Amino acid sequence: MGELPFFRAHAALHPDHLWIWETSVYVDENQRTWLPVTIETESSLQVLMRQEDVPLGEARCPSLLAPCLLPSMWQLYPGRRYRGSDSSFWRIVYHIEASLSGMEDMLLEQLPDLEDE
């Protein structure tokens, strides 16, 4: 009987920037594509960013895209967080890469505005 493959995940390097390319597709500084899955709860907004190779269409101007809960760009900041183009901050909950598939998942959680506290 064959053995099940051993699944191993390890921490991955965070992209410096993520830019919206087209609806539901972000691109990092290495031209890797990331697909967001938005998770809304009563107390927070999270987004699971999955690095997955998808064919890129024409880049779209963010102002021509449908309104979205997510910023059109994220920039990596110190302290395991991103700052969105809308001035929001997002905590990196985890960022892992599966060694067998090379697929990366990064979970971000929006931090509350300091003005709201």
In this prediction the pTM is 0.83
For 54, the domain range is 17-59+74-110
* 2-50 pLDDT, tens digit each: 555 544 555 678 999 999 999 899 999 999 999 999 999 888 999 999 9
pLDDT number for residue 117: 46
For residue 33, is it within any domain?
yes
Look at the chain and report how many structural domains it folds into. Answer: 1
For residue 5, is it within any domain?
no
Main-chain phi, psi angles of 21, to 5 degrees = -105, -45
For residue 8, is it within any domain?
no
Query: Is residue 46 within 8 Å of 93, Cβ to Cβ?
Result: yes
For residue 40, is it within any domain?
yes
CATH code, domain with 40 = 2.40.15.10
For residue 106, is it within any domain?
yes
* 42-98 pLDDT, tens digit each: 889 999 999 999 999 888 887 777 778 899 999 999 999 999 999 999 999 999 987
For residue 66, is it within any domain?
no
* Helix/strand number for the chain, H first, E second: 0, 9
